[in-house]
Amino acid sequence: MWRRTALSLGRRQLQGGPRGHANQVPPASFRMSHKRPARRILGVEKNIWLEFTEMAAKYKSVDLGQGFPNFSPPDFVRQAFSDVVSGEDCLMHQYTRAFGHPTLVKILAKLYGQLLGQSIDPFGDILVTVGAYEALFTAFQALVDEGDEVIIIEPFFDCYEPMVKMAGGHCVFVPLRPKGTPDKPALSSGEWALDPDELASKFTERTKAIVLNTPHNPLGKVFKREELQVIAELCVKHDVLCISDEVYEWIVFDGNEHIKIASLPGMWAQTVTIGSAGKTFSATGWKVGWAIGPHRILKHLQTVHQNSVYHTATAAQEAVARGFQRELDVLGRPESYLFQLPRQLQEKRNRLVECLLSVGMRPIIPEGGYFLIVDISALNVELPEPADEEEPYDYRFAKWLIKTKGMATIPVSAFYSLGHRKDFASYIRLCYVKEDSTLEAAEKILKEWHLTK
Ligand code: PMP
Ligand code: GLN
């Protein structure tokens, strides 16, 4: 894993070598200016969430865009947070242990120890972070060196690419392809799959890590054991790390099963598993996440964290710990929130799917997570002339939908690398983790639009 320093390769890339990327040396005039940004942020300035959440708010749209529940977290976690902040223990308002509040890391070690069939050291194998975002960021900063290659499965949660670039790494993309044909298109996210030979061809001696995301954002695909096995075998064979983003781990539908790649043979030793209390307890604003893996790897993430964020809000960590404590006592039983959540969201998914089908749209039915994607190519909407010729069709469509119909969604090409965006511009992503009244408002818009077509 630590087999190379990649110094020579890094230098070649800094000089604009054949695989040149964000780290090329700018002209001297640029380097001299005190106003210039650092090279590592060149090319990563645009952000889909900033652009579309602002627009959704401006037009007061029915918001199926950004992925967050617009309903409350369960009573027991809200009560826990309020008990923590109003209680007598003044230390709940002060700094806590840098790598994770003791009650939280202990309960995470117990829970994930059971799920992974692996003994987990709460003080060595876990890092609590500011949401899963920071877990991803510390992982890339700590493990990816100049010139290292990181395999990313396309489409992908958009921050992976800029985070790899900011670490000096080079992204190598491999697509999930729909298995259908034009007359019999794929209907479910399970029909989007990797080609094992194509995946194998992406592993080189420069590959440092592969990023996995299951359940998947934006497709809603839940990777099957056989699919994970293929990835795991390649990781073991090539001594490559797996950064496994499992923030939607509890949200799986239709009897599908979420399998943790770290539980497959040989994989605990080379996987960083990332989770989010935001998604687990429907409290995305709390921004509590974690990375779990063997201390040998985790200690490097801890180094980045101690020198940047240092620690996550104490009260939020304690409330999440109390939430998990309650869940551990009832796990698998109908009163468990983690039992109820996927059932509740499956109903919302079904409702949105039925509505989309009734207005002649073609959703890809998700097996898990917060989102579904829907094909817009057959709608034949005439869009106004683009201000920017380069803007992909789905961006223009999503903007038109906000402005003229009052409904916010996210263009799916935002989940593709810049070079591939134009080829995948015929889907939009809808979030169904919304109050029934919001889904009803979206249904009304879609049905009225359908009638006027
Ligand atoms: N990974 C994926 C796949 C996501 O969809 C998100 C957004 N919630 C994150 C990571 C970041 O999670 P958090 O809100 O806990 O930072
Ligand atoms: N993960 C959420 C989504 O995909 C939110 C992302 C964000 O707000 N940056 O919508």
pLDDT of residue 24: 64
pLDDT of residue 30: 61
> 3-state DSSP call for residue 275?
strand
> Residues 231, 161: one domain?
yes
Calpha distance 231→242 (Å, rounded): 9
Domain finish residue from 279, 296, 330: 330
> Residues 65, 81: one domain?
no
> Residues 167, 66: one domain?
no
Express each pLDDT in 300-353 by its tens digit: 999 999 999 999 999 999 999 999 999 999 999 999 999 999 999 999 999 999
Calpha distance 186→427 (Å, rounded): 13
The reply to whether 10 falls in a domain is no
The reply to whether 397 falls in a domain is yes
> Residues 157, 296: one domain?
yes
> Residues 363, 325: one domain?
no
> Residues 370, 274: one domain?
no
Terminal CA-CA length for the chain:
57
- The range of the structural domain enclosing residue 198 comes to 75-330
Domain finish residue from 273, 303, 330: 330
pLDDT of residue 386: 79
> Residues 170, 65: one domain?
no
Residue 194 makes CB contacts below 8 A (sequence gap 6+) with 153, 174, 175, 176, 177, 227, 230, 231
Tally of domains within the chain: 2
pLDDT of residue 10: 38
Express each pLDDT in 366-398 by its tens digit: 999 999 999 998 888 888 887 788 899 999 999
Burial class of residue 275 in the structure, from the number of CB atoms within 10 Å of its CB (0-12 exposed, 13-18 middle, 19+ buried) = buried
pTM, to two decimals:
0.93
The low-confidence residues of the chain, meaning pLDDT below 70, are 1-32
- For the domain that residue 345 is a member of, what is the CATH number? 3.90.1150.10
Atom of ligand 2 nearest to the CA of 157: 4
245 lines ligand 1 (CB under 6 A): yes
415 lines ligand 1 (CB under 6 A): no
> Residues 313, 425: one domain?
no
Atom of ligand 1 nearest to the CA of 68: 8
> Residues 270, 138: one domain?
yes
Q: Rounded to 10 degrees, what is the CA torsion of 382, 388, 392, 397? A: -40
pLDDT of residue 298: 98
Give me ligand 1 centre to Cα 307, in Å.
22
Structure tokens at 370: 């917060």
> Residues 152, 296: one domain?
yes
Domain finish residue from 298, 330, 362: 330
pLDDT of residue 382: 85
68 lines ligand 1 (CB under 6 A): no
β-strands 427-431, 410-411 pairing: antiparallel
Give me ligand 1 centre to Cα 68, in Å.
10
pLDDT of residue 186: 78
> Residues 295, 342: one domain?
no
Calpha distance 433→386 (Å, rounded): 31
> Residues 240, 343: one domain?
no
β-strands 241-245, 207-213 pairing: parallel
- For the domain that residue 162 is a member of, what is the CATH number? 3.40.640.10
In 3D space, the residue among 375, 361, 372 whose CA is nearest the CA of residue 433 turns out to be 372
The reply to whether 37 falls in a domain is no
Residue 8 makes CB contacts below 8 A (sequence gap 6+) with none
pLDDT of residue 64: 98
The reply to whether 30 falls in a domain is no
pLDDT of residue 32: 67
The reply to whether 2 falls in a domain is no
Q: Do 139 and 148 touch, CB atoms closer than 8 A? A: no
